[in-house]
Amino acid sequence: MITRMSSLFLRTLREDPADAEVPSHRLLARGGYVRRVAPGGYSWLPLGLRVLRNIEQIVREEMDATGAQEIQFPALLPREPYEATNRWTEYGPNLFRLKDRKGADYLLGPTHEELFALTVKGEYSSYKDYPVTLYQIQTKYRDEARPRAGILRGREFVMKDSYSFDLDDEGLAASYQRHRDAYIRIFDRLGLNYVIVAATSGAMGGSASEEFLAVAPTGEDTFVRSTESGYAANVEAVTTPAPAEQPVDGRPDAQVHHTPNTPTIESLVDFLNGAGLGRVFTAADTLKNVLLKTRQPGEQDWTLLAVGLPGDREVDTKRLEAALEPAEVAMLEESDFARNPFLVKGYIGPGALLANGVRYLVDPRVVRGTAWVTGADKADHHVVDLLCGRDFTPDGTIEAAEVREGDPSPDGAGTLVAERGIEIGHIFQLGRKYADAFSLDALGPDSKPIRITMGSYGIGVSRLVAVIAEQSHDERGLIWPRQVAPADVHVVIAGKDETIVAGAEQLAAELDAAGLRVLLDDRKASPGVKFADAELVGVPTILVVGRGLANGVVEVKDRATGERVEVAVDIAVPHLVSLVRG
Amino acid sequence: MITRMSSLFLRTLREDPADAEVPSHRLLARGGYVRRVAPGGYSWLPLGLRVLRNIEQIVREEMDATGAQEIQFPALLPREPYEATNRWTEYGPNLFRLKDRKGADYLLGPTHEELFALTVKGEYSSYKDYPVTLYQIQTKYRDEARPRAGILRGREFVMKDSYSFDLDDEGLAASYQRHRDAYIRIFDRLGLNYVIVAATSGAMGGSASEEFLAVAPTGEDTFVRSTESGYAANVEAVTTPAPAEQPVDGRPDAQVHHTPNTPTIESLVDFLNGAGLGRVFTAADTLKNVLLKTRQPGEQDWTLLAVGLPGDREVDTKRLEAALEPAEVAMLEESDFARNPFLVKGYIGPGALLANGVRYLVDPRVVRGTAWVTGADKADHHVVDLLCGRDFTPDGTIEAAEVREGDPSPDGAGTLVAERGIEIGHIFQLGRKYADAFSLDALGPDSKPIRITMGSYGIGVSRLVAVIAEQSHDERGLIWPRQVAPADVHVVIAGKDETIVAGAEQLAAELDAAGLRVLLDDRKASPGVKFADAELVGVPTILVVGRGLANGVVEVKDRATGERVEVAVDIAVPHLVSLVRG
């Protein structure tokens, strides 16, 4: 196939678009791959669509190789199935909702667990039918609060979503592993630099879950990895190693101290260290109690929640929200304090919380036998040596404290370092949440129903176009890996000479005949403009046909390395074919 | 590729689905190709998705061959461009509208003229850039009042829509012709029986327009064709040949007659023929005046409209609506008559209409010099010999009368016969409506702007799956043409014998190695069940491997003709390959 730039619907841009925040967005827009149509809505121009299709094809091949079967659902879906699983409500403002002409409620599908479960229920009935895995490559919709970074986070995007249906947990684990392996093959074939991290499961419900994150400084997700082991995890999923419990017998009694003007941890520590108590306190010795309120989906009223954590740590909102999901969480307002006068701002302690029935969850570091400086529930007073398990017993633990570089790795090997990534894949062991919602059973060999267990697995296909661009570019433009590039060879006609034009056309025709996809720059532009566009567009191999042709040579340039080689024109075609075919 | 029915996500149904009105819907559901998810919303199961993709590929190949370039737009589109062309309003309840989380208005694209025009405006500026034709194969949405017939008329469906952009009318005519030729190639490759009919242009605006209609008794569109010429037209587009005008001088004066109890045409004709007026009257001599009201899009108030047509013809609502589009039209209510006392029901004549300023349009047969019996605007009175052009002058003509078999063909050759069809393609010369809305200009060689002229062209890709099924089936099931079939050969293992199973597996493997797509029925079902399913699923060639294998023969059955041939097992593979490759 020869694509002529003289007629190709492509206009490269010299300037970055005003709203482009990240390299992939800048370069995909400047290279004429995508155009913005609406907030979070992009059109795919010819070269962009080719890259998208190439990625789709790799995903499809690897999914088919697992035995998964491709089907396709509508994007416009009725409310009822999503009502049955409560996701109509849980998705909150992220869901695009609409009514049809009769007033019936519809949504634009963000993921399709409900529909796949219902479809399998409709077709299958016997245990002999299972296991089965189905997938689709389909357009999804999410009304992001802040669509950003071009196609990295759009409101309409292409996803591969698949769903496994198994009779038992072992089957689910096997289906999960098959997906995990397929995802590794897919992301390897795409040439991506990525990590697999333990993840929370978001609004999907369920248990085991991992995310594939492409490493990128522009990523929205922060993850941590161990300096010594292979451990990597989304910050939301990092578990805090609990220290060993300590005896409570024979420990000093808790003592209330008058600590005037110490509403902050810093002022409190300073005060105590100046109070002649005979030891040195740090912020880590204090127990900070953060007051919040939570509300379950569909509920009207808020419930108070207190989170106790070492005073040297802040609450990480994302970890907090992940820990409490699907409940909403909010800070207290003045009126909440007014309604609960036992909450003495700056001096809240476990005592008043537990005495007044406030749910009290603590950081995993707060174990039995640890002693804390904390609020005494009275202005300007703190209590020292308040012992967990003796003086107070929390209602449970919560992973809400910030994770820091240097924290011990949860697997015990090394410490954590932070990096940023972009989510490119997500695999979940959903379990029976959806099967329960729709009574998805198989009739067993003993004629008893077996409740099906599901997995759900997603790849952000259109996002991958941007992720690859994010990982593979330089200041001059895009650098596509061969397997997804919009063409194999970019032939630049560098001169107006009849012989140069004819020579380039001849080479393009021969490359085409050899089965290569050729992008031929036959425009009436200057060689300088054409070279710049070739760098911007990013086809991996550039063939320059110019003055050297008179001496029987053409130039082959490697877009990634910048390396140029002169090649005799009569061996140029086999040379390029072997380059492309590897 | 071998697809094993033992694990294929396919369950055929013995019973027709309750809501299936047409053969294609019945058989696509029973054959496990599609499943209903919502009113007008269907999922594509594995075999259905294959047929859909095969059709897409044929459409894509022929579009690419015209030089059209594939791009892709979102389905979720902002209101503003559709507001600029007034289609936000004109589409009425057929448009799915929704708001995002910020309250901004969006729609689900029914067609994309606006976005393509804006995109070309964004990329192109010089006359040297043109012409260009762009297309997409994309999901479309229309909130049909009555989704029906499965995927024949859904609310979410796949369309190929393309748009041509030319500098002048000749260019547009050439782009139109290129599409017309490509559509003919596409529908010929799909093996369809279809006609090309002159069409009205619906809400698209513009001039020349033709529809491709697949001939099918279940079609929603009625079209007429000439018994003698190649003329064919949508009923909405049939023009009525006007008779020659006649002199008005020297013709008898109009006379009012007392015609008691003659509110209907029939009673009037009977009365007149019994009144001794010395001639015979038929319904065709009477002028029936039908009162309506119309309202332009966005208007609040209705305007009266009278349509005068020969008394032997009824108003055809679709023709009337097409003639008045984009205005809404409604029958008068009692309150309208009450407000306009000059309208004497059953006796309305041109006199009162024109005297009271009611817009009065007549059938093209009502030409100057024709004499009519019509209402005298007084109960129980009619006027005879009311002469058009002497006694009344209408405001214009309208194509609102029913078209009948036997009517003269508008091209003067033969008479019309009626048939039913399903719209599969539509080509429009839009002209400058959209370019005007967005000031889409090219800078000419003289630096003056040239307003671009557009064409718009659509193929209902997902609908084609049903249309092919509609034209190609029998009482036992579907009969796919080779070029779209979900497999090349359906191998039935007709027996439990080890040797039969092994022989069939061996043949399937060899067919696969030869590049054929094999559907292998390796289920534990009885041969009878397998044969019935093979007929239902409709793969064009069925290979039965059964007891004959012991004698070295297998059976090759042609699904369409039912013809069965015994073939020696050792030549079965080349035999099938040559059948499939044609």
At residue B268, the 3 state secondary structure works out as helix
Cα within 13 Å of Cα(A305), Cβ side: 24
**Mind telling me how many Å the CA of A143 is from chain B's nearest CA?**
7
Which helix (H) or strand (E) segment is B90 a member of?
Answer: helix B87-90
Is the domain of B28 the same as that of B158? Answer: yes
Which residues from A are below 8 Å from B7, CB to CB? 67, 132
Say yes or no for a CB contact (<8 Å) between A76 and B42: no
Residue B15 lies in a domain: no
**Mind telling me how many Å the CA of B50 is from chain A's nearest CA?**
9
Say yes or no for a CB contact (<8 Å) between B71 and A97: no
Nearest CA in chain A to B101: A93
Q: Which of B46, B74, B122 sits opposite A38 (nearest CB)?
A: B74
Q: Does A74 touch chain B (CB under 8 A)?
A: yes
Which ranges constitute the DSSP H helices of A111-203? Answer: 113-123, 169-189
Q: Does A80 touch chain B (CB under 8 A)?
A: no
Any idea what the CATH number is for the domain that residue A522 is in?
A: 3.40.50.800
Residue B220 lies in a domain: no
Residue B57 lies in a domain: yes
**Count of C-beta atoms within a 10 Å radius of residue B90:** 18
Is the domain of A221 the same as that of A130? Answer: yes
Interface of B with A in 448-477 (CB under 8 A): none
Say yes or no for a CB contact (<8 Å) between A73 and B97: no
Is the domain of B463 the same as that of B494? Answer: no
Q: Does A96 touch chain B (CB under 8 A)?
A: yes
pLDDT at residue number A55: 98
Say yes or no for a CB contact (<8 Å) between A46 and B70: yes
pLDDT at residue number A199: 76
Residue A268 lies in a domain: yes
Packing angle between helix A23-30 and helix A461-471, nearest 10 degrees? 100
Q: Which of A52, A70, A145 sits opposite B46 (nearest CB)?
A: A70
Q: Is the pLDDT of residue B202 over 80?
A: no
Any idea what the CATH number is for the domain that residue A369 is in?
A: 3.90.960.10
Say yes or no for a CB contact (<8 Å) between B11 and A124: yes
As a whole number of angstroms, the distance between CA A440 and CA A434 comes to 8
Average pLDDT, integer, range B506-513: 98
Is the domain of A259 the same as that of A228? Answer: no
Q: Does A70 touch chain B (CB under 8 A)?
A: yes
Interface of B with A in 197-216 (CB under 8 A): none
Of B377, B397, B417, the residue at which a domain comes to its end is: B397
Say yes or no for a CB contact (<8 Å) between B74 and A119: no
Nearest CA in chain A to B32: A123
Is the separation of the CB atoms in A323 and A235 below 8 Å?
A: no
pLDDT in tens, B54-101: 999 999 999 999 999 999 999 999 999 999 999 999 899 999 999 999
Is the separation of the CB atoms in B139 and B462 below 8 Å?
A: no
User: Domain total for chain B?
Assistant: 3
As a whole number of angstroms, the distance between CA A192 and CA A375 comes to 50
Of B397, B423, B456, the residue at which a domain comes to its end is: B397
pLDDT in tens, B393-451: 999 999 999 999 999 998 889 999 999 999 999 999 999 999 999 999 999 999 999 99
Of B397, B413, B444, the residue at which a domain comes to its end is: B397
Residue B16 lies in a domain: no
Interface of A with B in 109-148 (CB under 8 A): 115, 119, 122-124, 132, 134, 139, 141, 143, 145
Q: Does A67 touch chain B (CB under 8 A)?
A: yes
Residue A337 lies in a domain: yes
Give the percent of chain B with pLDDT over 70: 99
Residue A562's domain comprises 487-581
Any idea what the CATH number is for the domain that residue B171 is in?
A: 3.30.930.10
Task: State whether ipTM is beyond 0.90.
Answer: no
Which residues from A are below 8 Å from B122, CB to CB? 35
pLDDT tens digit at each of 582 positions of chain A: 999 999 999 999 998 888 888 999 999 999 999 999 999 999 999 999 999 999 999 999 999 999 999 999 999 999 999 999 999 998 999 999 999 999 999 999 999 999 999 999 999 999 999 999 999 999 999 999 888 778 888 999 999 999 999 999 999 999 999 999 999 999 999 999 999 988 764 444 445 889 999 999 988 888 999 999 888 888 888 889 899 999 999 999 999 999 998 888 999 999 999 988 888 999 999 999 999 999 988 888 999 999 999 999 999 998 999 899 888 999 999 999 999 999 998 899 999 999 999 999 999 999 999 999 999 999 999 999 999 999 999 999 999 999 999 999 988 899 999 999 999 999 999 999 999 999 999 999 999 999 999 999 999 999 999 999 999 999 999 999 999 999 999 999 999 999 999 999 999 999 999 999 999 999 999 999 999 999 999 999 999 999 999 999 999 999 999 999 999 999 999 999 999 998
Is the domain of B116 the same as that of B83? Answer: yes
Is the domain of A116 the same as that of A44? Answer: yes
Is the domain of B269 the same as that of B366? Answer: yes
Is the domain of A296 the same as that of A207? Answer: no
Is the domain of A372 the same as that of A427? Answer: no
At residue A253, the 3 state secondary structure works out as coil
Please indicate, yes or no, whether the overall pTM of this predicted structure exceeds 0.90: no
Residue A246 lies in a domain: no
pLDDT at residue number A220: 84
Q: Does A12 touch chain B (CB under 8 A)?
A: no
Question: A439 vs A86, A140, A172, CA distance in Å?
Answer: 15, 26, 18
Is the domain of B34 the same as that of B74? Answer: yes
As a whole number of angstroms, the distance between CA B32 and CA B39 comes to 18
Q: Which of A539, A538, A572 is nearest to A554 (CA)?
A: A572
**Count of C-beta atoms within a 10 Å radius of residue B544:** 25
**Mind telling me how many Å the CA of B28 is from chain A's nearest CA?**
15
pLDDT at residue number A206: 45
Is the domain of B392 the same as that of B465? Answer: no
Is the domain of B437 the same as that of B502? Answer: no
As a whole number of angstroms, the distance between CA B440 and CA B446 comes to 17
Residue A250 lies in a domain: no
